[in-house]
Chain A
Amino acid sequence: MKENPADQPLRDRLEPGHLSLDGFLGSDQRPLADIIAADTGEVEAAGLTVEQLGAFLEKLHEIADAGWEGRVPACDGKVSVRSDETLGQTPCPFICGEQCHKAEIAVKDADGNDLLRFTPLDAHLIRAHGFFEGKGSHYRIEPKELIALYRHCNGEAE
């Protein structure tokens, strides 16, 4: 599908060098609308909504914050989370007015294996815009993995 030229400033902001060094699109050449449609489609096919997944990540961030950079158990001990915070805020590239804090939250399972690393901006992009970042981007979260983690933490069948 052709990209609306009015979306070009948005795409520019997602490119490397504006809000983060590597940008949000990785090596993905698809138009933005296609990236979002493909990922939200996957989520809806699994019977969930992007709002649920984004809110879940935001909850994990909240739990991690209480630890002041220490590791905190979450979801009845099924996983543990830790947040590395940086001072400052980053505006949402979609210019919805939201400012997100800068942090990296590392989620590990009960055995200490790395499950997921995400930023508060990722949680907001998923919840409010259905954007999981382009393929090849450092902080891209594959919808499949996030859905599995969500189900694991909420005790649902995977």
Chain B
Amino acid sequence: MTFLIAVGSLVAICGILAVLLVIADRYLNDYGICKLIINKGAREEEVEGGSTLLNSLNSAGIFIPSACGGQGSCGLCKLKVHAGGPPVLPTEEPHLSADEVSSHVRLCCQLKVHEDMELEIPEELFNIREFNGTVESLTDLNHDIKRLRVALPAGEELDIIPGQYIQIETPAYKKTPEPVYRAYSIATDPLDKTHIDLVIRLVPGGICTTYVFEHMQTGQPIKLNGPYGDFRLTDTGKEMVFIAGGSGMAPFLSMLAHMKNEHSDRKVSYFFGARSKRDLICLEEMAAFEEALPNFKFIPCLSEPMPDDDWSGETGLVTDVMKRHCPDLSNMEAYLCGSPGMCDASVAALTANGMPEENIFFDKFA
């Protein structure tokens, strides 16, 4: 008898406590509808409180760049919160400088929306959308670079400015527990508004590129968002120098297509750095651009040509070749697509030949 009473009362006590906790949870975690006032009232969104600012903005159709899916590791989702957020969280601190903190910059994937908030979001982020495209084709450009062509869903169009990039989502596969996002420059002709072309180089041990090279199939769906970035051509008409290698060609493919559409007669020299002949890509396309654009010159430079490459073109480091071709850079502009380390090395070479630093542009996300 005591046994039954014991069990019964234990169950009853646990049950009552559980009910109390559920009620408390419902009451304490219900934040109601919160208003997000953006850019001093230029836009207002009403969202359900309780989730992160990043997710709340996403649900309102505003996409903030994020590569880590809200874990707080990439530091890309910064925007200004002027009112309504909690004090700076320990998970945000490593990513924010003292200046950023005093101007109210926050990581919106860490903040939770608990009340009305006043936000400041850069205008260009309003143009960013998410697309559910389809893989139209995957072509080999050389031994470790592929061109991925994605078709946008029927009826949807994307206006791009040559030089911008998008993010593609790699779904969970093999050893990866959740999707990841990686950024790639757009190589598409801007007049083609229903497709996105990307140039992707295999990175050993890379999550996204391994997926693209080993698992991606034509016809499969693919999620992308964008466009991002402010790397673009100026309209000064000055003579230009393009420097890139490997998959860095993507934005220039888009820029050259744009120049062809505009029948531009702007002078351009593109110095393409590679190791040996097998690392070159898109040679026919470059030849076609040279035909269509009389003032465009494509100059591939091989740093380690193999003996049987039979190479008669330029050799050596691409910055040295460029210095030989363009001794006076004082009235020219340079467009660089590569990692910041490479860009910095080029800046030194370019300024040494007289180019003012403000005429040098690079792809900032690299």
Contacts and interface: CB of A to CB of B under 8 A. Distances in A.
Interface in A115-158: 138-139
A61 B184 contact: no
B247 interface: yes
Interface of B: 67-68, 71-75, 91, 93-96, 172, 174-178, 180, 182-185, 201, 203-207, 210, 243, 245-248, 273-275, 303-304, 316-319, 337-342, 344-346, 348, 363, 365-366
Contact of B316 (A62, A64, A70, A83): A70
A48 to B, nearest CB: 25
A87 B319 contact: no
Contacts, number: 136
Contacts of B318: 68-70
Nearest to A12: B177
A70 B366 CA distance: 19
Contacts of A61: 341
A139 B204 CA distance: 11
Contacts of A62: 341
B342 A95 contact: no
A52 interface: no
Interface of A: 13, 16-23, 61-62, 64-72, 82-83, 85-89, 91, 93, 95-97, 99, 101-104, 138-139
B339 A101 contact: yes
A101 B340 contact: yes
Contacts of A19: 73, 207
Contact of A21 (B174, B338, B340): B174
Given A83-B342, A87-B337, A95-B73, 5 more contacts: A21-B175, A65-B344, A88-B182, A101-B340, A104-B204
Contacts of B275: 69-70, 82
Given A86-B203, A87-B365, A91-B73, A97 B317 contact: no
Contacts of B172: 17
27 contacts: A16-B175, A17-B172, A17-B178, A20-B205, A20-B207, A21-B174, A21-B206, A21-B207, A22-B205, A65-B342, A65-B345, A67-B303, A68-B319, A68-B345, A68-B346, A69-B245, A70-B317, A85-B341, A86-B203, A87-B248, A91-B67, A95-B72, A95-B73, A97-B75, A99-B74, A101-B340, A138-B204
A112 B186 CA distance: 37
Nearest to B363: A87
Nearest to A119: B205
B74 A91 contact: yes
Contacts of A91: 67-68, 73-75
